[in-house]
Amino acid sequence: MALKVCVGVDVGGTSIKFGLFTNNQDSGLQLLDKWEIPTNTSDAGSHIIEEIASSIKAKIADNKLLPENLDGIGVGVPGPVVDRSIVRSCVNLGWGMLDVRKALREALGETGEFAHINIVVENDANVAALGEYTIVSTRKAYRSLVMMTLGTGVGGGIVIDGQIMSGMNGAAGEFGHMPVLYDETEYCNCGKKGCLEQIASATGMVRLAGRRVPKDTIDRWSAGDSKQLTAKDIFDAMANGDSQAEAVVDEACSYIATALANITCVINPEVIVIGGGVSRAGNVLIDRIKKYYNEKAFSGCKDVEIILAELLNDAGIYGAATMGVTG
Amino acid sequence: MALKVCVGVDVGGTSIKFGLFTNNQDSGLQLLDKWEIPTNTSDAGSHIIEEIASSIKAKIADNKLLPENLDGIGVGVPGPVVDRSIVRSCVNLGWGMLDVRKALREALGETGEFAHINIVVENDANVAALGEYTIVSTRKAYRSLVMMTLGTGVGGGIVIDGQIMSGMNGAAGEFGHMPVLYDETEYCNCGKKGCLEQIASATGMVRLAGRRVPKDTIDRWSAGDSKQLTAKDIFDAMANGDSQAEAVVDEACSYIATALANITCVINPEVIVIGGGVSRAGNVLIDRIKKYYNEKAFSGCKDVEIILAELLNDAGIYGAATMGVTG
């Protein structure tokens, strides 16, 4: 039997990450190679699909593989996706509406030798959730997983019975825009006020510190350049025993827990994975989220596991490759 | 070909409702007969299953049908259900953990002639959501529906691709316990403070009126007996132009909208159905919910339809019968 491989592609605004995986029935996906290329956003991102196709073709050839060895390609993109194919817009890439599956098939397909390939496209946060699901599922047969990503913004994804839940417009798992701050006076990037993202993202935590903490303290946390304060600086200050830093983290975690308590009343999942750059803070973050979650959650949903993401930057390529083979 | 029928059973704390439906491939479920029996909660509800079985057998015989005409039985019960069979507890019925499918199969089955029947059990709010789904789906092929039930409490259910989403512990769709009231000082029946149910249920609206409105006004609304004030009295006062009643309804609707904006960020459904006794207020309720929803919802989720439930008390038997035939 010919070796079967699949490719996971994670398209970001700066770089495009690729993973080449073997797809063995016994051991599942095994990472064979990973690489990345810069994202070419020139000409409204119109070269991106072509460059993805070229990069995959070159890697297949480099590995002495044939097009027939390739089963599927999964693609995560930074925008809402419907029908596992059509992105409605990707501001970071310069894209308007685009049928990514069709475009990629055309870019691969002049000679027809890639015509058999399964191509599946999804929102990148949903894909990352599926990536984490593939990992936690090696330990236990989870039926439902929620991932919340605390990065520059707050995103998320939901996996039920091994399938991404996308929603009508690809907006399922958009946890960053849950209305949890009732007295917020500033606008979120989305155009409304009071979104979770405004307090729980890395930038949200920095903004919160600016409101709660005197400038001289922030100067100390940020080595004198308060405009460069990061969420990591706040966690570092907390690790050094700074009670004001702890109060900022506590307040953010309290709202994260409120959002999680809302989410679990909706879908009652088995496991919640916390990812994104802020999750690098580790168990100090998880423990605080759990503490507030236990206060706010419905009793029937309290036994959900809340854990740290494991794959971090590789979640996208794992999830995308999983989509590529499972369809 | 033999006539195929199925039975939907909606088990409540006071009465058990039954619907006998024909299941024709062309026209779908058609209600043939409906009836109810009182719920016998004596002996910790231990006669309920037996009485359901007897009532179904008698109705099959009355209609000159044979056991082989019966395809399936769906049962909605007032408690969390897992594996579409096992209820974890039903306080209103006196039940602890019970495998309802197994018990009903035994109660039907001494002679084996009902052994072929498909039996599916689910939480009653989830079943009602499926009932409404069967109705709205006759107009348009919806893939996802959320139902929120505003009654004595607040409940709900979620249907995705024609299937009820139950969650790990049967607690999916427990919208009443979303933590939306941050400054609440009283306890909800669930044991925590600040649940949606504390303001958005019929009893929650009455409680809110007691806090916001002077006693003489409440006396007027309730024809002199303020202890008997109902949500309907508040809506009636609003219909008569009372601005204080309108403010109470507005405040409740604002929190309902907050909860809906949270829910849609999670699953981005196509349609939200508002049911329960409070929904009898009609479009005056829906219009207010929509107004606040538009302020609070994420842009990608604003095009959800928000509509009134149509089946009201029959949603349970329709949904249960649907489960009975679709498995």
The ipTM, to two decimals, is 0.94
DSSP string of B96-109, one letter each residue: -SEEHHHHHHHHH-
* Mutant choice from B168, B270, B302 vs A, greatest count of A C-beta within 10 A: B168
User: Which one of B80, B180, B296 has the shortest CB-CB distance to A300?
Assistant: B80
CB neighbours of residue A83 within 10 Å: 10
Interface membership of B123 toward A (CB under 8 Å): no
* Cβ distance of A268 and B192 shorter than 8 Å: no
Judge if A144 and A293 occupy the same domain: yes
Interface membership of A97 toward B (CB under 8 Å): no
* Cβ distance of A266 and B172 shorter than 8 Å: yes
Task: Supply the pLDDT for residue A213.
Answer: 97
Judge if A282 and A205 occupy the same domain: yes
Distances (CA, A) of B289 to A122, A296, A326, B315: 32, 24, 40, 22
**Alpha-carbon gap, residue B284 to B241, rounded angstroms:** 13
Q: Which residues of B touch A263 (CB under 8 A)?
A: 262, 266
Q: Does residue A252 have a pLDDT over 90?
A: yes
- Total domains present in chain A: 2
* DSSP label of B95: B
**Alpha-carbon gap, residue A177 to B266, rounded angstroms:** 10
Counting beta carbons within 10 angstroms of the beta carbon of residue B207, is it exposed (0 to 12), middle (13 to 18) or buried (19 or more)? middle
Task: Supply the pLDDT for residue A27.
Answer: 73
In a domain, A218, yes or no: yes
pLDDT in tens, B112-149: 888 889 999 999 999 999 999 999 998 899 999 999 99
Over residues A89-105, mean pLDDT = 93
**Alpha-carbon gap, residue A244 to B321, rounded angstroms:** 58
pLDDT band at A296 (very low <50, low <70, confident <90, very high): very high
Task: Supply the pLDDT for residue B6.
Answer: 95
Task: Supply the pLDDT for residue A239.
Answer: 97
Best CA proximity match to A60, nearest among A130, A128, A117: A117
Q: Does residue B25 have a pLDDT over 80?
A: no
* CA of B123 vs chain A CAs: smallest distance (Å): 13
Counting beta carbons within 10 angstroms of the beta carbon of residue A5, is it exposed (0 to 12), middle (13 to 18) or buried (19 or more)? buried
Interface membership of B94 toward A (CB under 8 Å): no
Best CA proximity match to B273, nearest among B318, B238, B230: B318
Counting beta carbons within 10 angstroms of the beta carbon of residue B217, is it exposed (0 to 12), middle (13 to 18) or buried (19 or more)? middle
Best CA proximity match to B326, nearest among B166, B134, B142: B134
Judge if B158 and B293 occupy the same domain: yes
Distances (CA, A) of B49 to A9, B46, B184: 54, 7, 40
pLDDT band at A327 (very low <50, low <70, confident <90, very high): low
Task: Supply the pLDDT for residue A1.
Answer: 60
**Alpha-carbon gap, residue A179 to A158, rounded angstroms:** 19
Best CA proximity match to A240, nearest among A256, A264, A258, A220: A220
Amino acid at A127: V
Task: Supply the pLDDT for residue B92.
Answer: 87
Task: Supply the pLDDT for residue A235.
Answer: 98
In a domain, A135, yes or no: no
pLDDT band at B288 (very low <50, low <70, confident <90, very high): very high
Task: Decide the pairing of beta strands A144-150 and A271-275.
Answer: parallel
Host domain of residue A76: 5-129+314-326
Over residues A305-325, mean pLDDT = 94
Judge if A216 and A276 occupy the same domain: yes
Task: Supply the pLDDT for residue B110.
Answer: 66
Interface membership of B193 toward A (CB under 8 Å): no
Q: Does residue B48 have a pLDDT over 90?
A: yes
Judge if B117 and B247 occupy the same domain: no
Task: Supply the pLDDT for residue B1.
Answer: 60
**Alpha-carbon gap, residue A301 to A299, rounded angstroms:** 5
Task: Residue window 291-310, chain A: list those with CB within 8 Å of chain B.
Answer: 295-301, 303-304
* CA of A315 vs chain B CAs: smallest distance (Å): 20
Here the tokens at position B78 are: 């007032």
Q: What percent of chain B has pLDDT over 90?
A: 87
Judge if B173 and B307 occupy the same domain: yes
Query: Angle A215-A220-A223 (CA atoms, 0-180°, nearest 5)?
Result: 115
Here the tokens at position A212 are: 């709660």
Judge if B160 and B240 occupy the same domain: yes
Number of residue pairs across A and B with CB atoms under 8 Å? 143
Q: What percent of chain A has pLDDT over 90?
A: 87
Over residues B203-230, mean pLDDT = 95
pLDDT in tens, B158-179: 999 999 999 999 999 999 999 9
Distances (CA, A) of A36 to A8, A11, A170, B142: 11, 10, 26, 40
Q: Which residues of B touch A304 (CB under 8 A)?
A: 168
In a domain, A199, yes or no: yes
Q: What percent of chain A has pLDDT over 70?
A: 99
Judge if B221 and B123 occupy the same domain: no
Here the tokens at position B314 are: 């029959």
Question: A35 — phi, psi (to 5°)?
Answer: -155, 170
Judge if A125 and A61 occupy the same domain: yes
Question: How many CA atoms are closer than 13 Å to the CA of B146, on its beta-carbon side?
Answer: 28
Task: Supply the pLDDT for residue A110.
Answer: 65
Task: Residue window 238-277, chain B: list those with CB within 8 Å of chain A.
Answer: 258-259, 261-270
Q: Does residue A87 have a pLDDT over 90?
A: yes
In a domain, A134, yes or no: no
User: Which one of A144, A195, A258 has the shortest CB-CB distance to B168?
Assistant: A144
Judge if A111 and A228 occupy the same domain: no
Residue B70: give its domain's CATH number. Answer: 3.30.420.40
**Alpha-carbon gap, residue B227 to B210, rounded angstroms:** 10
Best CA proximity match to A297, nearest among B174, B147, B155: B174
Is-contact A173 A155, C-beta < 8 A?
A: yes
Q: What share of chain B is helix, strand, coil (3-state, %, to 5)?
A: 45, 25, 30
Interface membership of B167 toward A (CB under 8 Å): yes
Q: Which residues of B touch A170 (CB under 8 A)?
A: 268, 300
Over residues B273-294, mean pLDDT = 97
Over residues A93-102, mean pLDDT = 95
Task: Decide the pairing of beta strands A144-150 and A5-11.
Answer: unpaired
Here the tokens at position A24 are: 């063995």
Judge if B247 and B109 occupy the same domain: no
Q: Does residue B111 have a pLDDT over 80?
A: no
Best CA proximity match to A290, nearest among A250, A320, A325: A250
Task: Supply the pLDDT for residue B325.
Answer: 85
Best CA proximity match to B85, nearest among B73, B94, B93: B73
Task: Supply the pLDDT for residue B327.
Answer: 62
Strand partners of residue B120 = B74
Interface membership of B144 toward A (CB under 8 Å): yes
Distances (CA, A) of B255 to A168, B252, B258, B311: 24, 5, 5, 25
Q: Does residue A228 have a pLDDT over 90?
A: yes
pLDDT band at A24 (very low <50, low <70, confident <90, very high): confident
Judge if B59 and B78 occupy the same domain: yes
